[in-house]
Structures are given as C-alpha cells and as structure tokens.
Chain A
Amino acid sequence: MIPEFLGYAFMQRGLIAGAAIAIICSLMGTFLVLRRQSLFGDALSHMAFGGISVGLFTGIYPLWTAYAVSILGALGMTKLRKSTKISGDAAIAVLLVSGFGMGVLLISATGGFSIDLFSFLFGSILLISNTDTILVLIISAGLTISLVMLRKQLLHFTFDEEQARVSGLNVDRLNYVFVAIAGITVITSMRLVGILLISALIVLPNITSMLFGKGFKQTVTASISISVFSVIFGIILSYYFDLAPSGIIVMISVAILVGALAAKYFGIIGKSMPIQRAV
C-alpha cells in the first residue's frame, strides 16, 4: 500500500529534490567542516540573499543572479584573503554582511519583502516545480561527480595543505574549484531549508557522523545517511503536522546530533573517537 502523501506530485518532487540536496550538502559540508569553515555556507547564503535581491531589482530570474553573486563573491573573497592575509573567520564575516547589506538595500529599493523573498529565506521545497526539480537533480549529480572525482585531492589538501603542495597538487586551483562547488551547492540547496538555515544541513550531519565514524569513508557515508533521513522524515512530518519543512528538517538533525552526543557520553558508541589522546 502506498502512503497517502506519495500520491501528491508536490510531495514526490519535494522528496526527490530534497534527497538530492541532502546528499550534496553533507558531501560538500564534510570538507567545509574539516577545514574549520563551517560558517562559510552561511556567508555564501547571505551573499545569495544579496544576489536574489539583485534579481528582484533588475527583473532577472533571481536564482541566476544568486549563483553569480555568491560564486563571484566567494572567489573574490578567497583571492582577497590570500593576498591580504585576512583571517578565515573575518573573511566569512565580511562576505556575510556585505551580501546581506546589499540585499537589504536593494529590497528596500524594490519595494519591500515579497512572497518570493520569503520562500528563499525560509525554504519552499514543497513549492518546487517540475523544471526546477530536474535542474536540482542535474546540478546535484554534477556536484556529486565532481566531489567524488576530487575526493583524494580534497582530502589530502584538507588534512595537510603543505604536504599536498609538496606532492605536486595545485592547491590554489583546487581551492578555487572547491569554493565554486560550495557556492553552487548552497544556492541549489536554498530551496530546501532557506537561506537562514542552510548551514544546518551542511554542518549538523557531519558533526554527528564525525563523532563515531572511524575513517573518512565511513564518516561520509554516515553523514549522507543522516542528512537524507532528516530531510525525508522532515518532509513527511511536515505533511502530517502542517508545519514548515525547513524547521522540522533542521530540528531532526539537531535531535540526531544531541542523541549521538548523549550516546557517546554514556559510552554506547564512539569507542573509536579519542577522548584523551595517548602520548
């Protein structure tokens, strides 16, 4: 017997697009979290807010302007950071406020907050169209393939940048490619949980899986599983209880993290993670 919610096309689209987004967010997020740039996703999404406002202001489809502004902003910031030695967290702050500032300015000029804008801010996965679902699937597939192909280099680079450089890796180029991947991931994913909550999807499943994942492969697999579960379960719950899917998805991820922390604290899982390092 098919559950009732699967009978609706909007639910099918939401679940499919949601699962794809869950996969790319956690996959890309693994590297962001390990690079101690958890908030980079937030900065990108605030740039995206600026980008959307440019679209609403100029009449260009806001998603395209969001892609352009956040990727250009992020690449520019990466370059600036390299040449001016601004620290990582400060660079993130600069990116975040300049994006959001631009958004506020342009939106006031356009005539205030609209429904469109709200759907970007808080997510609207259940309003996603057929075309957009296909777009999300194609972009997600592209991002997943890129990340899988680059996984060895990204892992080495993330683990020890100097050694990666010594072994002949073009670290600077890899860094730009990764920033672009991060940008595309965030903009593609905004639909699901919105600009304000996108970081949750990037960071939470990864932190959880790092608590007990032994190796990298295991951690990534666990993170993707947690992420997909949170999104699917969240969308289903939102259908039955008529609540905002973004809020439920994020709260499920938080609950899983808290549960894992508790399990670890009581010694149920996590033997592989060092509490205290042997000397």
Chain B
Amino acid sequence: MKALEVSDVSISYNGNLAIDKVNFDVNEGDLLGIVGPNGAGKTTLFRAILGMQNYTGTIRMFGLEGKKYHALLPLIGYVSQKVNFEQNFPATVSEVVAMGLLPEKILEKSQTILQKSGFNWNRVYKKINKNSDKILEALKAVNLESLKDARIGQLSGGQLQRVFIAKALVKDPILLILDEPVTGVDVETQTKFYNIIKKINDENKITMVWSSHDLEAIAKLANRVACMNRKMFFHGQKEEFFSNEDLLKTYTESAMQMHMHHH
C-alpha cells in the first residue's frame, strides 16, 4: 500500500517556482532517501506534506486526501533540521518526549479513518499503559534512556535530534519525516544515528522519508531514493540510482555548484 503519493505538486514563492510538478510515492515500510542540494526545495516539500504550505497538485496519505488527510496530519512524526528552542528551557528529556504524546481522542479518530482505508496501524506504544513507560520505551529506541532526567539544554546536537525522534516515535507515527537530521554532527555520531534509524525502520516497521546530503548513508540505509532539485529528476529503487553513472554525476555536480554558490 502507498503510504504517501505526491502527484504534480508545485509550490511557488512570489511567482518563483520552488517546487515544479514533483511526483513521487512512498510504499508502506519504505525508507525513502531524498537527496538534493541546498535550496532544492526538500524542506518546502515536507512542509506541504505536513499541511503547513500551500501547493497545487495532490498529496495522498494511505489513499486519503482532503479532510481525512488533514485529520491524519498529527500522526506524522516530523524532525526538522534545526529546532529553535530556548537553550535554558527548564524541561527534562522525558518531559520533551512527553510533548509528543497525542490525546487519545485524536488517536482513536485516526484509527477509525485508517482502518477504513485498509491500513494496519501497528500501535506499539498503545500496548503500554503508563505514559512514563511509553516515554522510556521511546527513549530506549534511540538509546537515550540513561539521559531521561537530564535537562534538555545539556544535550549535544546529535543527542537532541535523537530526543526529537523519540518524541515523534511515542505517538506511533504512520510516517516519519526526517529533514537532514544530522547536519553539523560528527561522523561517529552520524553512524550511531544511522543505525538507530535503520533499527526503527526494520523493527518498528515505520515508514520513513529522510532527506540528506550524505549519499553514502543513503546508499547504506534507504531502499528507495528520490533525487530532486526543484524538479524530481529521479525516483525509484536505490540500486537503480547508484548504478546510473550519469545521474550520480549530475547530482554531484549540481550539489557542488550549489555548495559553491552558498559559500
């Protein structure tokens, strides 16, 4: 079943096309890696999927659009590139993860909608009774249970992103979107992070869309790849992408150009 279908989606800012007729889909259980240079419109595209950006075209989730699609938006887990929060915010790691817990009313409503669409929603955390246990399990999934009582401001960048993933996990997301989650983090931390992502995708069977500059990581973790720069110029199996020399060359060159342009 298609978890997500994006058809002919275009987005313009002040008359400039930021996204030009983009088409792609995500199968249930996929880990789709989206690659593209800075300014390619990946974040804009995510914002459209999250209902925070106007667009033309159609976006469907589990075959649903319009009102029903909107009702499912709270169930998308979203970890943005950078979260701007007050460094001295007096909240513990557990308290931040707890913010991810959705009211049971929203969850039940979504459950009904999803059942009708034929999607078998695996609610891992529903089986756990106490909220504090749910939070602990989510923190275990990202290997952070030892820091549950730490104040959020004490964490490193990589740890923070893992907390935000736990916050997204705890609501049993039907789709997890990670927008370049490990930008500016050292290589060792990145590797740990990638292993966690892989584990969540494999074990919790959570469908993921993940944007990254890191082709190597995408080659290792994703099963499908989408490559975009305003337009989508590749979308398919990972093997197909990485065996296509022309495509790789185009990507690398445009990425380099954008890189130079930005510095």
Contacts and interface: CB of A to CB of B under 8 A. Distances in A.
On whether the two chains bind one another, the answer is yes
Contact of B151 (A36, A167, A168, A214): A214
Q: What secondary structure prevails in chain A residues at the interface with B?
A: helix
A279 B73 contact: no
B86 interface: yes
A155 interface: yes
A166 B74 contact: yes
Contact of B154 (A159, A164, A278): A278
A215 B151 CA distance: 6
Interface in B77-134: 78, 80, 83-92, 94-96, 98-100, 102, 106
Interface in A143-178: 152, 155-156, 159-160, 162-168
A274 B91 contact: no
Nearest to B159: A278
Given A168-B74, A277-B87, A215 B95 contact: yes
B90 A210 contact: yes
Contacts of A213: 90
B171 A167 contact: yes
A185 interface: no
**A152, A159, A209, A277 — most chain B CB neighbours (10 Å):** A159
B187 interface: no
Given A277-B153, A277-B154, A166 B50 contact: yes
Given A156-B99, A166-B73, A215 B92 contact: yes
A163 B78 CA distance: 8
A210 B95 contact: no
Contacts of B154: 272, 274, 277-278
A34 interface: yes
Question: Chain A: interface residue count, which band?
Answer: 20 to 34
Nearest to B149: A214
A274 B87 contact: yes
A152 B156 CA distance: 25
A159 B96 contact: yes
Contacts of B156: 277-279
B90 A214 contact: yes
Contacts of B155: 278
Interface string A260-279: 00000000000011100111
A168 B106 contact: yes
Interface string B175-211: 0000000000000000000000000000000000000
B151 A274 contact: yes
B86 A163 contact: no
Interface in B130-169: 149-151, 153-157, 167
B181 to A, nearest CB: 14
Contacts of A209: 90
Contacts of B91: 155, 159, 215-216
B221 interface: no
Given A167-B74, A215-B90, A217-B95, A273 B157 contact: no
A124 to B, nearest CB: 34
Contacts of A162: 52, 80
A160 B168 CA distance: 13
B102 A215 contact: no
- Those 9 A-B pairs whose CB atoms lie nearest each other, nearest first: A168-B74, A215-B92, A219-B90, A156-B99, A216-B91, A274-B154, A274-B153, A213-B90, A167-B74
Interface of B: 50-52, 73-74, 76, 78, 80, 83-92, 94-96, 98-100, 102, 106, 149-151, 153-157, 167, 171
20 contacts: A34-B89, A155-B99, A159-B86, A159-B89, A163-B78, A163-B80, A163-B83, A163-B99, A166-B73, A166-B78, A168-B106, A214-B90, A214-B92, A215-B95, A216-B90, A272-B151, A272-B154, A274-B154, A277-B153, A279-B157
Given A162-B52, A215-B151, 6 more contacts: A160-B85, A166-B76, A168-B73, A215-B90, A272-B151, A274-B153
